[in-house]
Amino acid sequence: MIQDLVVHGAFIAYAIAVLMGFGTILTWVERKQAAVMSDRIGANRAYFRIPFTQVKLVWLGLFHGMADGLKLLLKEDFKPRTYDWYAYAVAPWVVFTPVLLVFAVIPFGGQLLPGTLFPPLADWFGDRSYVMQIARLDAGLLIVFAFGGMTVIGAMLAGWSSANKFSLLGALRAGSQMISYELVLGLTVLGLILVYGTVDLTDIVRQQSGVMLGVLPAWGIVFQPFAAVLFLTAAIAENKRIPFDLPEAESELIAGYFTEYSAMKMGLFMFAEFIEIAIIGALFTTLFLGGYNLPFLTDAGFVFPGGHMVAMSHGAVVVTQLLTFLAKVFVVCSFQILVRWSLPRFRYDQVLHFAWKFMFPLALANLVVTAVVMWSFAGGQ
Amino acid sequence: MATRPYRRKRYWNEPTLTWYERAYIFEIVRGLAITGGIFTRNMWRWMTGRKGALTTYYPEETRWDYAAANRGKHVLTQRPDGSPQCIACNMCATVCPAKVIEIEAAFDPDDPAHPKYPARFEIDYSRCIFCGFCVEACPEDAIRMVKEVPDLPSEDRRRMWITRDELLNWKPQRDVAKPYPPRGGTKEPA
C-alpha cells in the first residue's frame, strides 16, 4: 500500500516538474523560435553575474523568463473597484488548475517495475508493476474534456467580475469561441474512439505500440490523418493562441478578459496558456503520435523485423520511453509556436464560420467515414 | 425615402482568388513551409557557428554599412612622437555650441616649440550635437571626427564623457596630422 503511495507521489512530482518546466522553458522557446524565424537574435541580455566576479552568465537568454517572473511577482497587485472581488480573485485559479489536472490521466511512460529498477528495494516492492501515469481512469478522455471545458468558466468569470467593457467583450468572445471549438474537438476524437474502441488513454497508447505494413508505426495519425489536423487546429483555437486569439486581441480589446488583471494573477493566465501548449502537445502525442512508443521498441528492447534485437535493461527502456514522450511533446509545442508566428489573426465572424461551417462538417464527415470503414471491417454487423 | 440596398463597389484591380487560394489550407501549409524553412536555415547557421540573424549586437558590433562620411566620434591627432597635436588653445571649446568640451591646459618646459599641452581634454557625449564646429575651429588640425561611434550606452550620464586617453587612441599610419611648424616654413624652432 505504502509502495503505491511512494510510486504515485513520484509520478505526481514528475508530472508537476514536467509541466512547470515546460511552462517556463516554452516562454524562452517561443521568444527564441520567433526570433530565429524572423532573422532576429531574440532576448539575450538578462544575465546572472557570479558574485564577486565579472563573469556574466547569459546562457542564450534563458534568464529572461526568470526576470519576467520576478517582475510579475514584485509588481503591485492592482485591483479594479469591482463589485465581485471573490470571482475576480478565484478566476485565474479556475483557469490554471484544470489545465494542470488534465495531465493526471495522460500516460507518460510504459510499464514500470520499481523492484527491477531499484534492486536494493526489490523485496519491498515485490513484483508490483505500474503504468507511468498518475491516475488510470477508464474515462480518461472524458476527464480530459471535462477539465478542458472548465477553462471557459474561468475566462468568463474573469471577464464578468472585472466590470470592464473590454473584459466582458473578451469573455464573451472566449466563451463562444471555446464552446464552438470544444464541439469540434470532441467530434474529431470520436473517430479515434471508434478506431480504438476505448476512452482509456493507457489502452489507446498501448494499441499504438506496434507497426503496421512492416515499417509504418501504428500511430493514430496514420489511421486518422484528417482528425489529427482538425484536432490540432481546434486545440489551438481552444487555447486562444494567435490565429484564434480573438478573446485577447490586443489591438481591439487591450488584453481581453484579463485586461484588469496585473502582477502574478495576470502571470497565472499567461502561465496557464503556456502550460496548455504543453498539455495540447501531450494530448496530441497520446492520441495521434503513439505516446511514449517508438517503432520496434518493446519492453525488452528494440526488436527489428529481420529478427535483430537490441536488448535493453528495464531502466534503459523506462528512460527511453520518458524521453520519447517529452521529445514528441516538445515537437508538437514547437509546431504550435511555428503556427502562432506564421499566421495572421482571423476576423471574429471568420473564427465562428470556420468552426461551424468548415471544421464541424469536416469532423462529422471524418466520423461518418470512420464509422463506415470500421463497420465494413467488422463484417457489416 | 427609398433606400437602395448597399452594394459593394468593385474595383478594376480587385484581387481575385483561385479556388486553390480560397481553400486556405494549402496557403497555410505554404506559409508554414516558408517560415519553417527560414527557421531551419537560420538554425543551421547558428549550429554551424555562423550568425543566423540580420541583427547587429549593438554596442559590441559595428554595422558594416556605416556611411564613410559619418561623423560619430572625435579623435585627437598626434605628433610623430606620440604627444598630442593639441596646443590647448581652447578654440574648439569656445566655438562649441553645446559647450561640451573641457580642456585643462598645462605647461611643458621641455618642448619649447609647443609648451602648452592639454592635461585634460574631455567631451561630454550626452550633450554633443556632432556639428563639427570644433574640427573647423581647430588651427592645429588636432581634433577630427571619425565614422565610428563611441561605445557609450550607459545608465548614468556622468559616464558619457570621453577622456583624453580615449581620444588619443587614434593612431593612423597614413593621414597624420599636419606638422607644426609647417615644413619649409619660416618659424624653425630655436
Reported as a single tens digit per residue, the pLDDT across B10-53 is 888 888 888 888 878 888 899 999 999 999 999 999 999 888 88
The count of domains in chain B is 2
B79 and B134 within one domain = yes
What pLDDT score does B173 carry?
65
Interface of A with B in 99-158 (CB under 8 A): none
Does B174 map to a domain?
A: no
Interface of A with B in 41-80 (CB under 8 A): 41
Reported in sequence order, the residue ranges of A132-245 that DSSP labels E, i.e. its strands, are 211-212, 216-217
Burial (0-12, 13-18, 19+ Cβ within 10 Å), B82: exposed
Chain-chain contact of A39 with B42 (C-beta, under 8 angstroms): yes
Q: DSSP code of A246?
A: G
Q: Can you name the residues that pair with B78 across neighbouring β-strands?
A: B84
- Please tell me the pTM assigned to this model: 0.79
Assigned C-alpha cell, A268: 497565472
Does A37 map to a domain?
A: no
Chain-chain contact of A339 with B43 (C-beta, under 8 angstroms): no
B81 and B107 within one domain = yes
Chain-chain contact of B53 with A342 (C-beta, under 8 angstroms): no
Residue A143: give the domain boundaries. 76-377
> Using an 8 Å Cβ cutoff, are A69 and A267 in contact?
yes
B41 and B89 within one domain = no
The count of domains in chain A is 1
Chain-chain contact of A40 with B53 (C-beta, under 8 angstroms): yes
Average pLDDT over residues B147-161: 83
Chain-chain contact of A35 with B53 (C-beta, under 8 angstroms): yes
CA A187 to chain CA mean position, Å? 19
Neighbours of A264 (CB within 10 A): 16
B29 and B108 within one domain = no
**Sequence letter at residue A147:** F
**A344 vs B: CB within 8 A:** no
What pLDDT score does A316 carry?
83
Distance from the Cα of A135 to chain B's closest Cα (Å) equals 37
Task: Tell me the backbone φ, ψ of residue B71, rounded to 5 degrees.
Answer: -115, 95
**A338 vs B: CB within 8 A:** yes
Average pLDDT, chain B: 84
Does B4 map to a domain?
A: no
Q: How many CB pairs under 8 A join A and B?
A: 40
Distance CA A48, CA A52 (A): 12
Does B83 map to a domain?
A: yes
Which of B10, B26, B55 marks a domain boundary?
Answer: B55
Q: Is the pLDDT of residue B1 over 70?
A: no
**B33 vs A: CB within 8 A:** no
Residue B88: give the domain boundaries. 73-167
Q: Is the pLDDT of residue A62 over 80?
A: yes
- Helical packing angle, A2-37 and A64-74, nearest 10°: 110
What pLDDT score does B96 carry?
93
Q: Is the pLDDT of residue B185 over 70?
A: no
B91 and B41 within one domain = no
Does A252 map to a domain?
A: yes
Does B94 map to a domain?
A: yes
pLDDT class of B190 with cuts at 50, 70, 90: very low
pLDDT digits (tens, 9 = 90+) for A196-249: 888 888 888 888 887 777 677 778 788 888 888 889 988 888 888 888 888 887
B77 and B30 within one domain = no
Assigned C-alpha cell, A295: 517503432
Chain-chain contact of B32 with A341 (C-beta, under 8 angstroms): no
B119 and B162 within one domain = yes
Q: Is the pLDDT of residue A331 over 90?
A: yes
Average pLDDT over residues B119-148: 89
Position with higher pLDDT, A142 vs A1 = A142
Chain-chain contact of A36 with B52 (C-beta, under 8 angstroms): yes
Reported in sequence order, the residue ranges of chain A that DSSP labels E, i.e. its strands, are 48-49, 56-57, 111-112, 130-131, 211-212, 216-217, 297-298, 301-303, 309-311
Which of B6, B28, B55 marks a domain boundary?
Answer: B55
Handedness of CA A217, A219, A223, A226 (dihedral sign): negative
pLDDT class of B179 with cuts at 50, 70, 90: low
Distance from the Cα of B53 to chain A's closest Cα (Å) equals 4
B133 and B91 within one domain = yes
What pLDDT score does A44 carry?
84
Does A327 map to a domain?
A: yes
pLDDT class of B99 with cuts at 50, 70, 90: very high
Q: Cell 503511495, residue?
A: A5
Q: Is the pLDDT of residue A121 over 80?
A: no
B160 and B86 within one domain = yes
B140 and B100 within one domain = yes
Neighbours of B151 (CB within 10 A): 13
What pLDDT score does A346 carry?
84
Position with higher pLDDT, A122 vs B31 = B31
Average pLDDT over residues A43-70: 85
Helix (H, G, I), strand (E, B) or coil at A254: coil
Neighbours of B173 (CB within 10 A): 5
Q: Which of B31, B42, B53 sits opposite A342 (nearest CB)?
A: B31
B158 and B100 within one domain = yes
Which of B26, B55, B84 marks a domain boundary?
Answer: B55
Does B67 map to a domain?
A: no
B82 and B118 within one domain = yes
What pLDDT score does A144 carry?
87
Handedness of CA A280, A285, A291, A297 (dihedral sign): negative
- Helical packing angle, A2-37 and A263-288, nearest 10°: 100
Average pLDDT over residues B69-89: 86
Q: Which residues contact B123 (CB under 8 A, 6 or more apart)?
A: B74, B100, B101, B102, B161, B162, B167
Distance from the Cα of A222 to chain B's closest Cα (Å) equals 19
Least confident window among A107-116, A275-284, B135-144? A107-116
Chain-chain contact of B54 with A39 (C-beta, under 8 angstroms): yes
Q: How many helices (H) and strands (E) does chain B have?
A: 5, 5
Average pLDDT over residues A274-286: 90
Give percent above pLDDT 90 in chain A: 8
> Using an 8 Å Cβ cutoff, are A154 and A109 in contact?
no
Does A139 map to a domain?
A: yes
Does B3 map to a domain?
A: no
Does B190 map to a domain?
A: no
Distance CA A34, CA A32 (A): 5
For residue B92, which of B105, B109, B107 has the smallest C-alpha distance? B105
Reported in sequence order, the residue ranges of B77-129 that DSSP labels E, i.e. its strands, are 101-107, 116-124
> Using an 8 Å Cβ cutoff, are B90 and B102 in contact?
no
What pLDDT score does B94 carry?
93
Least confident window among A82-96, B50-64, B70-84? B50-64
Per mean pLDDT, which of A117-126, B32-41, B157-166 is the most reliable? B32-41
Q: Which of A33, A41, A343 sits opposite B31 (nearest CB)?
A: A343
Chain-chain contact of B42 with A37 (C-beta, under 8 angstroms): yes
Q: Which of A33, A339, A343 sits opposite B39 (nearest CB)?
A: A33
What pLDDT score does A76 carry?
86
Average pLDDT, chain A: 85
- CB contacts of B32 in chain A (<8 Å) are 338-339, 342-343
Does B89 map to a domain?
A: yes
